[in-house]
Amino acid sequence: MALTPPPHDATTNPFLLIRSISSSNNAMLSKEEEEEEKENNKGEPHTNNLCAVINHYIHTLNHFNLRNLGYPLNQNFNYDALAPLLRFHLNNAGDPFLGSTVCLNSTSFEVSVLDWFANLWEIQNNKYWGYVTTGGTESNLHAILLGREKFPDGILYTSQDSHYSIFKIARMYRMQCVKVGTLVSGEIDCAELKASLLAHKDHPAIINLNIGTTMKGAVDDIDLVIQTLEKNGFSRDRFYIHCDGALFGIMLPFLKQAPKISFKKPIGSVCVSGHKFLGCPIPCGVVITRKEYMNTLCRDIEYIGSRDATITGSRSGHAPIFLWYAITKRGSLGLQKEAQSCIRNARYLHNRLREARIGAMLNEYSNIVVFEKPLDDEFSRRWSLACKGNIAHVVVMQHVTIEMLDLFVAEFLQKRSFWWFKDYGSSFQPRCIADEIGAANCSCSMHSLLS
């Protein structure tokens, strides 16, 4: 998920400033010249310059954060207590459960984080394997590799609303990928899945399920998918299910009556991003799978004194500590409160938009509010909205306050009337987005008459 950088002019662009400082820094100085430089630079003006660049950058980031609505990145955190760790390079190369000969590692934190997620998704400590990845994408890469190694001739099924990483992975692994249609909510259409499965009955099924689609926050129905598989001749030894829970994988377990993500069901793996709900300052993620799937994948590597079981070699040793800190500091109760508050605030935004007769949709266990795409890209950029086709969304994360939402709605309404007037005169009606969010949620002239 790329955040659009705030606009800079040439004089305030911190990157240009960084470049000009770097180019004046001659790396080829002799000893004497270096001494002379130091003498000339009493009071370390060079370091002061660097600080100024960083401070300026922080200023633009703070400014940007005031209207950061469109991506599922929690900005409400404080890791100041971990700052002393930046004096160490921490590297978790290898299998977190086996340790390695690279001593500066944080695998004890990593395993404790993994145990926590294993418990959350209901698999015993001695039955699971997993690791802390660079993000949801690497978690998906690993999980789908497990499925493919289990079923080398398997076909990958995933809904059209899946994250773009899934289609990339299918290409990377040269797997046949069947794109399945979705319901208006965004969840996978099991009738269509059934037809696709029956059309490829001879091949095992590797299924990617979205536990929260990126755009609409729809949760694929794990139980219904399993039922569809089993009823149509796919016994448990002929399918592998991966649950892509990038955002909701950690939220649903804390919401009453939400669908359950559990290894008591015949699923093969679950993943989550660490920088989304948990709010890590660097991208990271978690993948958990059943231990039994790992054997085909691993190789012993003498050089690191460990087992090679992961996608990347060197792995961040800081990321697991950030995750550990995020989870431990808040505890289950704190996480539950945050999840509930995100959902509550998302419902607030949804109601405000509907009251203003703006077509909008919100799935039941979701903090992603989908609505008509603003007519002006400048407005979307200003609020960092993610858009796709005729729709846009706001992801109500922990840093998003009611005040921010009020401000957003007020500005949207004000601009919207202006866009209408400018482009269409006063008779303009919102375009129809019933195909995207359903007739009942649409506010175009035809559908608003129906409601």
Ligand X SMILES: *Cc1c(COP(=O)(O)O)cnc(C)c1O
Residues interacting with ligand X, by CB under 6 A? 1, 135-137, 163, 165, 210, 212, 214, 244, 246-247, 273, 283, 285
Query: What is the spatial distance between Cα 110 and Cα 131, in angstroms, rounded to a whole number?
Result: 7
**Cβ of residue 301: shortest distance to ligand X, in angstroms?**
26
* Complex with ligand X: residue 245 or 430, whichever CB lies closer: 245
Q: What is the DSSP letter of 124?
A: -
Please give the structure tokens belonging to residue 237. Answer: 């030894």
Coil vs helix vs strand at 209: strand
Amino acid present at 66: L
Q: What does the DSSP assignment read for 248-262?
A: TTTTGGGSTTPPP--
Side-chain-side CA neighbours of 315 within 13 Å: the count stands at 30
**Cβ of residue 129: shortest distance to ligand X, in angstroms?**
20
At residue 273's C-alpha, the angle toward residues 268 and 279, to 5°, is 150
Residue 310 near residue 324, CB atoms below 8 Å: no
Residues contacting residue 206 through CB under 8 Å, at least 6 positions apart: 144, 147, 148, 151, 154, 155, 156, 157, 175, 239, 240, 242
Residues contacting residue 31 through CB under 8 Å, at least 6 positions apart: none
* Complex with ligand X: residue 94 or 136, whichever CB lies closer: 136
* Complex with ligand X: residue 1 or 311, whichever CB lies closer: 1
* Complex with ligand X: residue 47 or 312, whichever CB lies closer: 312
The catalytic position among 159, 165, 366, 380 is 366
* Complex with ligand X: residue 73 or 304, whichever CB lies closer: 73
**Residue of minimal CB distance from ligand X?**
136
**Cβ of residue 437: shortest distance to ligand X, in angstroms?**
18
Is 112 tagged catalytic?
no
* Complex with ligand X: residue 209 or 409, whichever CB lies closer: 209
**Cβ of residue 293: shortest distance to ligand X, in angstroms?**
20
**Cβ of residue 247: shortest distance to ligand X, in angstroms?**
5
**Cβ of residue 312: shortest distance to ligand X, in angstroms?**
13
Please give the structure tokens belonging to residue 41. Answer: 């630079």
Catalytically active residues are 366
